[in-house]
Structure 1
Amino acid sequence: MSTEPISLLGIPLDANSSFMFGCAGGPAAIRAALHSTSGNDATEASVNVTPQLDDLGDLGITNEPGSRGDADVITTAVRAQVAAGRQIISLGGDHSVTFPILRAIGEVHDDLTVVHIDAHPDIYDDLDGNPLSHASPFARALEAGCMTTLVQLGIRTATRHQVEQGERWDVTMVSPRQLASFDPSALTGPIYLSIDLDGLDPSCAPGVSHHEPGGLTVREVLDVIDSLPGPLVGADVVELNPTRDVVDMTAMVAAKLVKEIAGAMLARR
């Protein structure tokens, strides 16, 4: 069993966002919540996980729209952690960070399953002429063969184009109403978890750029994390926009998710 700590990596990129910016402030807000004395370091299974997180700080990026250079910086950084035998949790930033992360993870896991929690499928061929948009990371990752299976939970805004994209790649899309039909025991191979905070209902995660009512509860997302078989090789928590948050509520939700993801990573080694 590995005794390596879990790497925590901030990626303050929001240039590939649509509608509004602000997610570049996400990593700092999640860290502040993670270390806030209003809570403690323990998971719901009473494991003190925060001391087992090796915080690598934030990546130095240009934060320019459609920057392949920034994407390469992310891939290189994640590749180094994977090569060191580390599991990694990345803090976004907008959801465009997930494609370059998956490029590195997929290099060493040719049977990767990705579980993606979101209001949106994020498989546009491109959005507004930007193929690296935060609305396109899974289209790019599927094209690049970064995974064998993609399961998306909480989807409630799929356009006809995105439905067709999902059919093209045999993506499983599960709406909030259908969540009870999700069978995690059917998942195989190593798992990567990507959580867009707008997958949760705005009533419990208001600090996002794209409010989409009718989403998942915090407890439902925690139950998904608990139910995933292992190993859990990596994860990201993205799309926190602190400029939209209310009394740091969404940042605290994000920090809670980070702790429970870390606990699941340790338990399934």
Structure 2
Amino acid sequence: MNPAKTHIPENSICVLGIPFDQNSSFQKGPCLAPSRIRESYYSDSSNLWTEKGINLESMDHLYDFGNLEFNPGTDFCNHIAGTVSTILEKGGRLICLGGDHSVTFPIISAYAKKYDSLNILHLDAHPDLYDCLDGNIYSHACPFARIMEKKLAKRLVQAGIRTLTGHQREQAKKFNVEINEMKDGLNWLSELEFDGPVYLSIDIDCLDPAFAPGASHHEPGGMTTRDVINIIQLLKGNIVGADIVEYNPNRDLMSMTSMVAAKLLKEIIARIHNDSFINPVDSTR
């Protein structure tokens, strides 16, 4: 399905696969994730009903645009940002399936053009605030440094973090990033509230490896699957877009992590559906 040629009603929910992992620093493999997540999404082992009682199979404003293609020499930033912008201009709200976390920078570049007071909630084991990693300023360890230095978001809140380096603490202070470290628990959730549109970025390694072994970077001490679902369902704010990134099928066990990612996708669709039709937000604020 071509987003440039497809008519979609206002406030449609759109899914886009971004199979790109060339900015991964440790292992390749997240480029395989979008298709694997879809396999689990449609698996006969489960169904398409969400926990809040929405039957996604009967949702007539849900569109899947398939996967972006990346040809040799493609400028990944412009390619992603251009496609995302096309969908947003048509009135869609987008959920992207990565891919490594570098894809979030061009996604947010497009979102910032539509929402001039964008908030970001970022769930991850890592803050991804390096100014540069291994000589690559677009590394999957750097997207939120790029986002904040370009002032693409008015507020960045991070949770699940358990790998802060001295450099990244300095970066967080420089950009006024609100970091909720995993060692301090999840009590922050009841106090967290966003004024204006919220973009949710979920790195699958925010979860403890016991719940999501299919991640390139295993970092013990993370969230449970229920923790993340609770955040999706209970967050005080209006979610206008999201991504699920860094799932690596090469590291998965019996599709365990792809089922987790598919579950999160279902619950995000339900939450965006709720926010779109019950609590609409001004796209310019």
Provide the TM-score with structure 2 as the length reference: 0.90
In the alignment, structure 1 residue 201 sits paired with structure 2 residue 208? yes
Find the counterpart in structure 1 of residue 21 from structure 2: 14
Tell me if the contact between 2:193 and 2:237 (Cα under 8 Å) persists in the aligned partners.
no
Structure 1 184/24 Cα, relative in aligned 2: closer, same or farther at 3 Å?
farther
Q: Shift in Å at residue 48 of structure 1?
A: 1.3
Find the counterpart in structure 2 of residue 134 from structure 1: 140
Find the counterpart in structure 1 of residue 38 from structure 2: 31
Task: Identify unmatched segments of 5+ residues in structure 1.
Answer: none
Counterpart secondary structure, 1:116: strand
Find the counterpart in structure 2 of residue 262 from structure 1: 269
List 4+ stretches of structure 1 deviating above 2 A.
2-5, 49-53, 181-186
The 5 A counterparts of 1:54-203 are 54-62=63-71, 69-178=75-184, 179-183=186-190, 185-203=192-210
In structure 2, what is the Cα distance between the partners aligned to 1:78 and 1:229? Answer: 25
Structure 1 248/51 Cα, relative in aligned 2: closer, same or farther at 3 Å?
farther
Tell me if the contact between 1:10 and 1:91 (Cα under 8 Å) persists in the aligned partners.
yes
Q: Deviations over 1:73-109 (max 9, x none)?
A: 0000000111011000000000000000000001111
Task: Identify unmatched segments of 5+ residues in structure 2.
Answer: 1-8, 277-285
Find the counterpart in structure 1 of residue 221 from structure 2: 214
Q: Shift in Å at residue 182 of structure 1?
A: 3.1
Q: Which deviates the most, 48-57 or 231-240?
A: 48-57
- The percentage of aligned residue pairs carrying the same residue is 47
Q: Shift in Å at residue 185 of structure 1?
A: 4.6
In structure 2, what is the Cα distance between the partners aligned to 1:230 and 1:187? Answer: 5
Aligned alpha-carbon RMSD (Å): 1.4
Structure 1 165/51 Cα, relative in aligned 2: closer, same or farther at 3 Å?
farther
Find the counterpart in structure 2 of residue 44 from structure 1: 51
Provide the TM-score with structure 1 as the length reference: 0.95
The 5 A counterparts of 1:240-259 are 240-259=247-266
Q: Which amino acid aligns with 1:260?
A: E
Q: How many residues align?
A: 265
